[in-house]
Structure 1
Amino acid sequence: MRRLLVTGGAGFIGSNFVHHVLEHTDDHVTVLDKLTYAGNLASLDGLPSDRFAFIQGDIADAGLVDELFSRADAVIHYAAESHNDNSLHDPRPFLDTNIIGTYTLLEAARKHGTRLHHISTDEVYGDLELDDPTRFSESTPYNPSSPYSSTKAGSDLLVRAWVRSFGVRATISNCSNNYGPYQHVEKFIPRQITNVIRGIRPKLYGAGENVRDWIHADDHSSAVLTILDKGEIGETYLIGADGEKNNKEVVELILALMGEAKDAYDHVTDRAGHDLRYAIDSTKLRSELGWKPSYGDFEAGLAATIQWYRDNEQWWAPAKDGVEAFYASKGQ
């Protein structure tokens, strides 16, 4: 039984990973989470107390991080400020968490010789033209376009430097857009699902032509566990499930799956610097480590996600009104 430390484990993707690990392994998981607005202890309800522990704290707290690393066999680093709109409104928290926080973890990994896996995003690569036949790969140059993606790019480069300069035992994964249970209602898919549940018309940025490469959070979790077990130190692996859809298609599919007219949505002002298209080539992960997604069908995964939000209104309702008030103030 390994002792895993998961930073940001009360957030969307991190909490899904914690559930996945406890279901599929015998490992013990300790979560370190600051519990900012995106962290939710309710996402960790019902986990076995003999294999799970929660600690509220900041990844930039060097003393706390050092103590936790001394007891961990491996660390999976999900903690991040990750919302593009928020990064445009106030970039500073993104520097504090994504840069200084990652630096703090790397120094602890360096001191204790702890295995570290760093979770990143495909947004570090910038975007692709809508008609570009290529996809992002591990050799794609970084070209971030927002305070969020630029700080994630910076954290990736820190990991690479600590591997090369100090021999830190780390790997990196860059994943495409996630969807699934426990995602904050500020995000695109849960916002539209919960709008329909509440009788509010979904909102679509601009013409809705922006393309994202969607992956269910459970598939992301299985990929990260595969990299932790089989990945080569110092390597980067891209995680994707061949789920390219433009935002208009996603909104219309949500409406159709929820029994509404496919055109029952409103166009709103587009986001500043809105990237056109992301697309992931996960060949390296699949061919070298033998991983493959379980949700090969986006519609099936989306239907399951819709049902989860229908069944768990008590989880998302407390944040819903505040999120909609914020977007309304921006005309979105």
Structure 2
Amino acid sequence: MTVSNETRVTHFILLGISSDPALQIIIFVLFLVMYLFTIAGNLLIVVTIYVDSQLHSPMYFFLCNLSFLDLSFSTVTVPRSLVNFLRQNKTISFNDCIAQVFFLHFFGGSECFHLTLMAYDRYVAICNPLRYTTIMNRRACLLLVGFTWVGGFIHACAQAFPVSQLPFCGPNEINHFFCDDHPLSLLACSTTFFSETADMVNTGSLSLGCFSIVFVSYAYIISTVLKIRSAEGRQKAFSTCASHLTVVTLFFGPSAFIYMRPSVTFAGDKLISVFYTIVTPWLNPFIYTLRNEKVKKSMKKLGGRKVSFLGTHMN
């Protein structure tokens, strides 16, 4: 397509993780298995929390929303990657590529804000237990979750718009398995200073802001927990926070490495991207259910209800 005497790229080619056909099959199987477990695990958490009235509290409401975000975040990249592993034509249109950038940062940004919100929830629960139900009432929880989604939307617009305005006149091969700001910027045929600056300011503000709130929240939490005289009480309080801290580390660490630097390519970028887009959403259900007795008991009750229903229906 020719626009104003300039050849404009109308589609991109996703090179994927490897060009080795045998290795692609292995990666396809691994991705498929992890994605299926991601869907099953996160949906199970959502259904369990929705069905069991004992889990209708702020902490589990936030966990339910986190599971939905994990599922959505993984779905942005994995299905197309699975299809690309099995076909020769690995093209993606310009509009679809920009849309993938937008939704990747929409759900990713929302998850950053949501993990920060969960840290604040733990701070209120441990440091102000007598006022917890007053502070984290239903209206406040809905508003706070709404703010995380709005924040994710603003972040996504700030990431996708600058890169969508860059001129792409060739080459059109993206050295990645999904569309993102950095690999796209490397293909632009003009200066990317504005786009790179906007990305770093946007992502830096988001990461530093969220990290600061999480750090301050846990500083107060640790200070409060250490004052608890009972060893059992301290263990229970730390156990409540351990799952969240693990997820924060798994999500923020790789994301900060990828996005809080200029658009340069490192050998390990694809592997790190696999970790935060596929592995972390797959691990999160295990992290929360293995360390949470109430969720495990509720899942067993849900399984019992299903067996009872099937038995009654068959009789």
Q: Of Structure 1 and Structure 2, which has the larger fraction of its residues in helix? A: 2
TM superposition score category, shorter chain reference: under 0.3
Higher relative contact order (CA 8 A, sep 6+): 2
State the TM-score, normalizing by the size of structure 2.
0.25
